[in-house]
Structure 1
Amino acid sequence: MNSSKEAIIAAIKKNKPDLLPLPEHPEFPYEDNLIEQFQASIKLNGGTARTGEGKAAVQAYLKDNYTPDNQVLSMVDGITGNFDIGKVQDPHELEHIEVAILEGDWGVVENAAIWLPEEKIVHRALPFIAQHLIVLLKVDRLLGNMHEVYQKINVAEPGYGVFVAGPSKTADIEQSLVIGAHGPRSMVVFLMA
């Protein structure tokens, strides 16, 4: 005599649909003005994107906007900071970082998200604990949408990575927007040739 469980499993097996192939990835064409679209997207997110400048412009930006006593952590070769991440063992030691300078792997035009793999941030807390973010991104690494970026990255390879799309934001039911409530207060992206 069959139990109810066996009867249910038999009915499920009998009515199992045929396996179908997965659909192909749809294409979402974008116009050629990726830089302008990225700038518009990051502006909507509360950040800014600058173009046509090199690493010397980043150093000048630091000099113009921060004092020598601000802790600046640079993860980008050719841009100097005054904080050595190599000495950090506990992420809590990053709590006084004023500016973190990072290099992104891929940028997404539709939402201004930038992919930061773990090897380029070292400590997972860094992009969220710094008061201000400066991210360098090569123009030829801009893609139209998240579908295109996910085809380029292997999310399992580095073990960790994160998309960052501007400074921290939060809003309440009264529609009062606060920038930098629980993360960076600003984000400037330097789009590099």
Structure 2
Amino acid sequence: MQGSRRSGGLLDALDCSPWGASCGRGRRAAAASRPLYTAEERVRRDSSPWTVVQGVLAPVQFAVFLVSLGLVARYLLTGEGLSAATWSVVAKTGLLYLIMVTGCIWEKRVFGRYLFAPAFYWEDVFSMLVLALHTAYLGVVVAGIGDGRAQMMLALAAYAAYVFNAAQFLLKLRAARRDEGRWRDDHGAAAGAA
């Protein structure tokens, strides 16, 4: 009994899944109502220069993605512009690496760990898939595996994963804004009552 309690505690410590309650781990219900940032994490987030870096890189990467998607689609539809499409995916992948590295530094500054902080666990998990698909694309291009069409289809798979992951982050940021609005309302009401 004591061993199972200990292993259950270890599982809870390692498992950051927000759906733990559906798997029989009730401790997650309290975590689901927890705001995205604690007051200390909010201060660290707001004072970190890496927050600004992420805020600049994310829309730049998205703009490069849109241009690249157009070039990839053009190649797939017309058979023209393989070189431009390839270089655009390489540029998008370089920006992805940059935003991943700076994002890890940001996460360490705000949450105390480079990856898989509970607040961004599933976004980080899916980011690994996005990174793997983009890296596979680079490997295929450098090794000359497949023709241009096959390579661009892999790029599209990487881009589909990227769009899903970007949506995850946008939904998380929207939830954080809602949390902060509630936090301000609660603290403003408490200050008014005092």
Length-normalised TM-score, structure 2: 0.25
Which one has a larger percent helix, Structure 1 or Structure 2?
A: 2
Which one has a larger percent strand, Structure 1 or Structure 2?
A: 1
Length-normalised TM-score, structure 1: 0.25
